């Protein structure tokens, strides 16, 4: 899926030059960032608060304000995703997510067995609006998060009836998913996703330079998610238009 068409929004959406099969997710922390994001061909707007953790939720007000803006668009609405936090917080906030959201993500920290993870997903799904799809999150540095390995998360997601998985990093210390998982492991994960018919996203301090490395490998995520690499400083700083453009150009020419 790629956003193409005309926004009623005067910010001026720029459609990609050619259709691409890989989606682009960007994590955003304010309404100003959401407005900037509309200038770029982003497939999934992901709301989270990077200052509070890897998957910390945004304030409910930001969810509601973003929904208002997106609902006013006529065509090519980006998909909306929300981070809900780690298990306890996700259970608490899930019911407050507007039904307009397409996706929700809950961090798996502390879910040290497939059974615990499945139970957490069931709890969160029970609380989410019916139309919101829960995405299974796997942490590349799963030992630090006391959760299970990405391969097991993918297999567990398939058994639990989830259709989408996202790999991220729990510890935001500059090391990326590619530092934690070798290309061989990511190739294996890519094959698991293909065999199970799972859509999957690769995130976790992914840098612009990593894209070419991925393109030359057999790692084929359906989506690449970024935050830190499109910010002016670290991932808690503001969006940088120059870096956003760099990524947008990459999606046009490489993916
Ligand atoms: O879901 C995607 C993440 O927000 C990516 O953040 P990051 O690139 O700073 O690790």
Specify the pLDDT at position 251: 81
Using most ligand atoms within 8 A of CB, pick from 106, 137, 205 the residue to mutate for ligand 1: 205
Render each residue's pLDDT in the chain as its tens digit; 255 residues. Answer: 344 333 334 344 443 333 347 899 999 999 999 999 999 999 999 999 999 999 999 999 999 999 999 998 877 789 999 999 999 999 999 999 999 999 999 999 999 999 999 999 999 999 999 999 999 999 999 999 999 999 999 999 999 999 999 999 999 999 999 999 999 999 999 999 999 999 999 999 999 999 988 988 989 999 999 999 999 999 999 999 999 999 999 887 654
Specify the pLDDT at position 12: 47
Spatial CA neighbour of 151 closest among 118, 114, 119, 110? 114
Cα(48) to centroid(ligand 1), Å: 9
Cα(146) to centroid(ligand 1), Å: 19
Give 105's contacts (C-beta < 8 A, 6+ positions apart).
46, 55, 81, 82, 83, 84, 134, 135, 137, 166
> If residue 68 lies in a helix (H) or strand (E), which one and from where to where?
helix 60-71
Which residues sit opposite 28 in a β-bridge? Answer: 47
Specify the pLDDT at position 11: 45
Specify the pLDDT at position 90: 98
Residue 18 lies in a domain: no
CATH of residue 167's domain is 3.20.20.380
What tokens were used for 84?
């809900």
Cα(208) to centroid(ligand 1), Å: 13
Using most ligand atoms within 8 A of CB, pick from 23, 24, 27 the residue to mutate for ligand 1: 27
Residue 87 lies in a domain: yes
Specify the pLDDT at position 25: 97
**Cα–Cα distance measured from residue 248 to residue 255, given in angstroms and rounded to the nearest whole number:** 10
- Active site amino acids: 48, 105
Number of domains observed in the structure of the chain = 1
Residue 142 lies in a domain: yes
The residue whose C-alpha atom lies closest to atom 6 belonging to ligand 1 is 227
Residue 81 lies in a domain: yes
Q: What is the pTM for the complete model shown?
A: 0.90
Pocket of ligand 1 (CB under 6 A): 27, 46, 48, 168-169, 203-206, 225-229, 235
What domain range includes position 129? 23-253
Residue 17 lies in a domain: no
Residue 2 lies in a domain: no
Residue 38 lies in a domain: yes
């Amino acid at each position: 899926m790629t956003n193409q068409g005309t926004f009623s929004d005067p910010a001026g959406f720029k459609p990609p030059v050619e259709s691409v099969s890989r989606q682009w997710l960007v994590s955003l922390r304010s309404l100003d960032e959401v407005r900037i994001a509309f200038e770029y061909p982003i497939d999934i707007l992901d709301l989270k608060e990077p200052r509070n953790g890897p998957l910390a939720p945004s304030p409910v007000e930001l969810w509601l304000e973003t929904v208002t803006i997106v609902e006013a668009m006529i065509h090519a609405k980006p998909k909306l995703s929300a981070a809900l936090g780690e298990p306890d917080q996700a259970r608490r906030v899930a019911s407050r997510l507007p039904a307009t959201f397409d996706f929700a993500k809950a961090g798996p920290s502390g879910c040290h067995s497939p059974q615990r993870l499945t139970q957490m997903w069931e709890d969160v799904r029970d609380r989410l609006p019916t139309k919101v799809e829960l995405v299974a999150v796997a942490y590349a540095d799963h030992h630090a998060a006391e959760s299970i390995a990405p391969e097991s998360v993918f297999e567990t997601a398939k058994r639990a009836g989830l259709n989408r998985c996202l790999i991220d990093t729990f510890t935001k210390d500059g090391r990326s998913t590619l530092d934690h998982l070798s290309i061989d492991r990511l190739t294996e994960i890519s094959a698991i996703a293909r065999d199970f018919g799972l859509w999957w996203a690769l995130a976790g301090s992914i840098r612009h330079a990593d894209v070419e490395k991925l393109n030359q490998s057999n790692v084929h995520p359906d989506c690449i998610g970024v935050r830190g690499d499109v910010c002016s400083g670290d991932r808690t700083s503001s969006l940088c238009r120059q870096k956003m453009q760099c990524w947008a150009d990459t999606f046009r020419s490489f993916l």
